[in-house]
Amino acid sequence: MISITAKFRVKAAHIEDWPNITKAFTEATRAEPGCLWFEWSQSRDDAAEFVLVEAFVDTEAGAAHVSSDHFKRAQQELPGHLVETPRIVHFNDPEISGWSPLGELAVVNSDEPEQ
């Protein structure tokens, strides 16, 4: 699995519209056969900072993503909305295939049904 977390600092004029600006790119990426997840969130401490957490099943899926037309379009369109080059953390581990339980915060007695 390839796991990527990236931080995007968006220009003030584009903060409110960032979900719409990235909508086509997000939807196209989520539709890729090798995409496990592609999720945006906004920092609670800095409204201009958006965090993208994404994962792909393997190296081939990651390569297909970065060579896709929608990725190439995003390379052209997104930088004009940003304050700086996004920062990234990237892991590639073929032994991992998805989320694992966080044992240190195990929920033992819950009235809520598991999802």
User: How is the beta sheet containing 49-56 ordered, strand by strand?
Assistant: 35-42, 49-56, 2-9, 87-92
Name the token pair of 15. 């903060």
Q: Report the percentage of the chain scoring pLDDT > 90.
A: 83
Handedness of CA 92, 96, 98, 103 (dihedral sign): negative
List the chain domain ranges.
2-95
For the segment 31-48, the average pLDDT, to the nearest whole number, is 97
Fold (topology level) of 2-95: Alpha-Beta Plaits (3.30.70)
Residue 109 pLDDT grade (very low, low, confident, very high; cuts 50, 70, 90) = confident
